[in-house]
Amino acid sequence: MLRISKIILALCLVAGGVQADPAAEQVRRDAYAGDVDAVEAAFAQAHKDHSAGLLPLDDLRSLVSVLNTTHPDLIAFQSQWLTAYPASPYALTLRANGYFDAAFRARGHEFTNRTHPDALQAFHDLGEAATQMALQAYDIAPDYVPAADTLLSLQNVTHPLDDAAKFALTADVMQFAPNLGTLQRALSSAEEKWGGAGLPEIKRYCDAFAGLIPTEPGFTTDVCIARIVGWNARTGPEIEAARQLAETTGHVNLGGLRRQLALERRSPADRAVLEAYLLRRGNDDWWTASQFAQSFDVTPDIDNALRTIDWLALSRRRDGLRHDPFNAGVVDFLLNQAWSTRPGKAGHPVLTDGTRRMLRKRLTLAHPFDAAVWFETGQYMFVDSDDDAPFAPYFENAIYYSQHDAGILQQVMIMTLRALQTEDWLSGATGDAAPAITRDAAQLCPVIRLSRVFEAVCANALYGTCEDMSEAYPMAAIKAAVTSNNLCQHERTAAVQDLLYAPVTIPAGDILSGIANRGEAVDPNGFALAP
């Protein structure tokens, strides 16, 4: 199972399940059709209408978000559009956002010393490409808010703006289109973890801009500070002040912090706060619902609400995969979190084996440099698959992207030895005698290679110790067998450097089944539920 930090992040990214507005839906249809002229015209008109006060900013932003997905056809369309309109601020902004998201998918969530150099290089290259396009888009159309959005978001990656330029950009946007989204992006990059100055910078931005947002009544400087402080889970006096403000003001922008307090304390008043939230029509906040079910007794009235949240969380994320098939947050939710919020009760049918296998494959392509994801998928192919689905390529990628980590190597050895079902093919093994072999070198030599790499890694480990696998059944018998039969010469004698693993390309197979714009006669939701 993926690490909990990744799961929580994923849930934050996909929460809400908001449907695109009709104009955005039409733009998506035009993009699927490859109509670059229609899409360019729609974006230009939307920009004009927003500037004239005729179109809400959220609707302007939705045109970008509806096309910025992991759908291969929409990614291809981004390139087509930019080729046809190389100076379009809209095509440049969309492409910059695509590169930005791809950079983070490549980077993953591990510390730098546990991240493969290929991932770090991809993160750097994609981030730089995104930055150049975003700068160009903003230079062409500084009043196009999504272009400014992208530059502010990139402050967390490539830092394209110095402090003065970042403040000036934010001030410009907040003058002609004051909105919480722009301010939130500026505040995010103020955090120390993204290279900002921390609390003093947060206070400066909140002092300057919090009171300018007409759609956020009561959004004072203190509420602004409390929101960003609570969102980033700080410690110390500032978080205590934020918690107190969340309790006393009841401001909508501090609702998440107030609910977290309620889950921690579990008083009758806290229960009432949470129930009022969970009973809201259209709520699909699975995480809060699941935490409530674990913290409080579930009465019949709230049980119905939890059932509805289960269903909405599943259906909205499932439907979202049609247009965003490699959204790691959605896929991870469906694989690891799609169960009832109510302890001991099934909320919905489980995924079929075929669907689960398909989603596992999608997750590896969504996180192509993540060793843990590759290993987990290999485990699934080995343990849960009801056919002869190959698992070795997934394990090889796990080894490579873990930078030949001893723990990964050992686990792969255990799985590989188990998969051989040695009782069936090794016979007559007594004492030091070599057993008879009924399997060929193609099945034995990978074991020898794995063993030698593992032993070499362990011999050069800078810390800790490795478990001795040389006597693990049937490792000793395999070594004796290949030696006596003069098999696996390369694996037995080559330099260890020549035995190290390299990335393996995984056939796409069925991973594109059921997505939009493909015309396949399959489940329109992209995957099936078990009967």
State the DSSP H helix or E strand holding residue 436, giving kind and residue range, or none if neither: strand 436-437
Q: Are strands 436-437 and 426-427 parallel, antiparallel or unpaired?
A: antiparallel
- 16 against 477, higher pLDDT: 477
- Distance set, CA 184 to CA 51, 229, 425 (Å): 21, 12, 62
CB of 322 within 8 A of CB of 525? Answer: yes
d(CA 342, CA 303): 8
Beta bridge partners of 351: 529
Tell me what percent of the chain is helix, strand and coil, each rounded to the nearest 5.
Answer: 65, 0, 35
Percent of the chain with pLDDT over 90: 54
| Residue 293 CA from chain centroid, whole number | 26
The confidence band for 240, taking pLDDT boundaries of 50, 70 and 90, is: confident
The confidence band for 346, taking pLDDT boundaries of 50, 70 and 90, is: low
Mean predicted confidence (pLDDT) in 350-376: 88
pLDDT of residue 484: 86
Instruction: Name the residue ranges covered by the structural domains of the chain.
Output: 163-283
d(CA 335, CA 355): 10
Mean predicted confidence (pLDDT) in 437-452: 81
Residue 346 has a CB neighbour count (10 Å cut-off) of 10
pTM as predicted: 0.86
Average pLDDT, the chain: 84
Residues 506-517: tens digit of each pLDDT: 877 778 877 888
- Asked if the model's pLDDT at residue 531 lies above 70, the reply is no
Mean predicted confidence (pLDDT) in 376-400: 82
- 523 against 343, higher pLDDT: 343
- Coil vs helix vs strand at 484: helix
d(CA 331, CA 318): 9
Provide the greatest CA pair distance for the chain: 88
d(CA 72, CA 52): 34
285: Cα within 13 Å, side-chain hemisphere: 18
The confidence band for 352, taking pLDDT boundaries of 50, 70 and 90, is: confident
- Asked if the model's pLDDT at residue 404 lies above 70, the reply is yes
d(CA 186, CA 205): 8
Q: How is residue 471 annotated by DSSP?
A: T
d(CA 298, CA 340): 13
pLDDT of residue 41: 98
d(CA 401, CA 372): 9
Beta bridge partners of 427: 436
Residues 114-124: tens digit of each pLDDT: 899 999 999 99
Here the tokens at position 498 are 């020549």
d(CA 180, CA 169): 15
- Asked if the model's pLDDT at residue 299 lies above 80, the reply is yes
Percent of the chain with pLDDT over 70: 84
pLDDT of residue 419: 76
pLDDT of residue 348: 54
Query: Cβ-count burial of 184 within 10 angstroms (0-12 exposed, 13-18 middle, 19+ buried)?
Result: middle
- Asked if the model's pLDDT at residue 423 lies above 70, the reply is no
- 37 against 18, higher pLDDT: 37
CB of 78 within 8 A of CB of 98? Answer: yes
